Amino acid sequence: MGLRLGVLVSGSGSNLQAIIDASEKGFIKSKICVVISNVPNVYALERAKKHNIPAIVINHKDFPSREAFDQAIVDKLKEYNIDLVVMAGFLRVITNVLLDAFPMKILNIHPALLPSFPGLHVQKKALEYGCKFAGCTVHFADNGVDTGPIIIQGIVPILDNDTEETLSKRILSVEHKIYPQAIKLYEEGRLKISGRRVLIDPPLSPDEKTFLTNPLTEL
Ligand code: GAR
């Protein structure tokens, strides 16, 4: 079923763009009905306007507490009758005010393979740690930092000549694939939560499964 999406952003909005494109192409049935940024003048707002999506700034600096800011976000999302909240590069910790208003209806994307590397500058951390893989995670939001139940993850190799920039770019290209896919599974009602596990029902077909090693291995 097509849902009314509210997308929260803080920056460039390339994930927002991937979701706009997925919606316009019909890959997902849901429609973005409002984009809210906590930072004025970010490019994500321009992207929304180009597609005639209401683009609103609610600046966290105008509020005395995280809760008061979250209440303003909730009020705006309710005004637009939003069914599912999509945090796409939204760099704020959210409180129970937002979580309680949209229980298990808030998704987040994070540029690391959680639970490794929550928080900020995580592509650099994975590179410096010496990981052979990095990736990205779409998960339900909860009141921890990048801790909610995991819906989908995508992996990329870390190459010897990578810099933070090249690795971030490789991860971002996978983010743009897994976020629309997570929304599609959600809108199809295929996400079943069992404790911390999010199971896909009906499951993905066997030919959709891939396995990778890095460096390459002869199996
Ligand atoms: C993305 O890499 C996203 O995963 C990350 O911010 C970037 C936003 O890019 N989010 C976080 O780090 C949240 N913990 P975008 O504005 O181009 O979509």
DSSP string, 131-143: -SEEEEEEEE--S
The number of folded domains in the chain is 2
Q: Which residues constitute the domain of residue 2?
A: 1-103
Q: Are residues 6 and 59 in the same domain?
A: yes
Q: Which atom of ligand 1 is nearest to the CA of 136?
A: 4
Q: Is 51 a catalytic site residue?
A: no
pLDDT band (50, 70, 90) for residue 204: confident
Site to substitute for ligand 1 among 7, 8, 9, 14, most atoms within 8 A of C-beta: 14
Q: Are residues 117 and 192 in the same domain?
A: yes
Q: Are residues 22 and 43 in the same domain?
A: yes
What is the CATH number for 95?
A: 3.40.50.170
- pLDDT of residue 197 exceeding 80, the answer is yes
- pLDDT tens for 40-71 read 999 999 999 999 999 999 999 999 999 999 99
pLDDT band (50, 70, 90) for residue 207: low
Site to substitute for ligand 1 among 20, 47, 109, 139, most atoms within 8 A of C-beta: 109
Q: Are residues 74 and 94 in the same domain?
A: yes
pLDDT band (50, 70, 90) for residue 206: low
| Of the residues 84, 103, 122, the one at which a domain ends | 103
- Closest-CA residue, ligand 1 atom 17, reads 14
Q: Which atom of ligand 1 is nearest to the CA of 88?
A: 18
Provide mean pLDDT across the span 160-185: 96
Q: Are residues 85 and 120 in the same domain?
A: no
Q: Are residues 85 and 184 in the same domain?
A: no
**Other residues' Cβ atoms within 10 Å of the Cβ of residue 85:** 24
Report which listed range, 107-116, 198-207, 209-218, is most confident. 107-116
| Of the residues 69, 103, 137, the one at which a domain ends | 103
**E strand intervals along the chain:** 4-9, 31-37, 55-57, 84-87, 106-110, 133-140, 150-157, 191-194, 197-200
Distance 199 CA to ligand 1 centre (A): 25
- pLDDT of residue 35 exceeding 80, the answer is yes
Distance 141 CA to ligand 1 centre (A): 14
Provide mean pLDDT across the span 6-11: 98
CB of 70 shorter than 6 A to ligand 1: no
Q: Are residues 96 and 143 in the same domain?
A: no
Q: Are residues 96 and 119 in the same domain?
A: no
The secondary structure of residue 209, as a DSSP letter, is -
> Distance between CA 35 and CA 86 in Å, rounded?
9
- Closest-CA residue, ligand 1 atom 9, reads 89
The predicted structure's pLDDT at residue 120? 95
Q: Are residues 114 and 215 in the same domain?
A: yes
Site to substitute for ligand 1 among 9, 12, 15, 86, most atoms within 8 A of C-beta: 15
| Of the residues 68, 103, 138, the one at which a domain ends | 103
Calculate what percentage of the chain has a pLDDT beyond 90: 91
